[in-house]
Amino acid sequence: MKKVPSQDYSKKGIINKADVIKVIWRQQKGMANLIDGKKISQEIKDELKAEVAELTRQGKTASLAVIQVGADPASSVYVRNKKNACAYIGIGSESYELPEETSEEELLALIAELNHKEEVRGILVQLPLPAHINEEKVILAIDPAKDVDGFHPQSAGALMIGSQGFLPCTPAGVIQLLKRSDIEIEGKNCVVLGRSNIVGKPMAMLMLRENATVTVAHSRTKDLKELCRQADILIVAIGKPKFITEEYIKEGAAVIDVGIHRLEGKKLCGDVDFEAVEPHVSAITPVPGGVGPMTIAMLMNNCVETMR
């Protein structure tokens, strides 16, 4: 039987004996380490809960205003999860559920009102918005000091130059997944597949902060398979279900799957073909249960940052 070296599994978000046994069994079978975003996000929320309790004793408070336009079922689930997370860590939340036909002017007026409410420390507008509302205008309207999503250009600029500011939640969550799973970043080759303003671009900047050598790939990238096969860490955020197969993978790489899709039959999957890729990697995030929970955990961290 393959001997597995002793490790502190608590650092990997693995907190009970049964989970340790599962990890050792997977290692003995030569299987990838499953990066459990649910456990790691819970660990972060527990840390934040304790911090909020202490900050509250010091007389500091925070409240998150969440705005949803329309009744998209997926958006409603995300909003509910964010409110539940606020309640769990001990900060307030206010929900503004606006009808689909709400005008851009009405939405901007509400944001202006919330910008001036001292008790509201964070403002979040659930995306996507209806087609008649300009998302860029809405993001620009939010006070950068309350931009807990980290989408405002001022937040993006702070990230670029390495100064203080709110970090976009999903990329920040990926960094925590890697660090808390003891996956070395410094000096590693990282390919970020996707160049969106919400995930791809900020993800590349955060990996640079951690001293990785970073390449950003996209739909016009030539020899994509060959490029991806150079990656020690492959982060995929392209919005195409099961696009990444074993042909894109370097043996022993760590793979972070940011995508989430609902296929026919309501089965969820990511941008990575998990079953095809898993035998070839050292670590991989599942979908669901990988990156998704971390996004909310890091949103909570940004909310608590307004209290610190």
Q: What residue spans define the domains of the chain?
A: 60-151, 168-295
Residuewise pLDDT in 10s, the chain (308 residues) = 333 344 555 554 455 565 555 455 455 555 789 999 999 999 999 999 999 999 999 999 999 999 999 999 989 999 999 999 999 999 999 999 999 999 999 999 999 999 999 999 999 999 999 999 999 999 999 999 999 999 999 999 999 999 989 999 999 999 999 999 999 999 999 999 999 999 999 999 999 999 999 999 999 999 999 999 999 999 999 999 999 999 999 999 999 999 999 988 779 999 999 999 999 999 999 999 999 999 999 999 999 999 99
Given this chain, do its domains 60-151 and 168-295 carry the same CATH topology?
yes
- Options 2.40.160.40, 3.40.50.300, 3.90.110.10, 3.40.50.10860; which CATH number does 60-151 get? 3.40.50.10860
Q: Is 82 a catalytic residue?
A: yes
Nearest to 305 by CA among 93, 118, 147, 111: 147
Residues of the binding site? 194-196, 260
Q: What is the pTM of this model?
A: 0.89
Residues of the binding site for NADP(+)? 194-196, 260
Q: Is 126 a catalytic residue?
A: yes
Q: Is 149 a catalytic residue?
A: yes
**Active-site residue, selected from the candidate residues 126, 147, 188, 250:** 126
**Active-site residue, selected from the candidate residues 149, 232, 257, 271:** 149
**Active-site residue, selected from the candidate residues 82, 146, 242, 250:** 82
- Options 3.10.20.90, 3.90.1170.40, 3.40.50.720, 3.30.1280.10; which CATH number does 168-295 get? 3.40.50.720
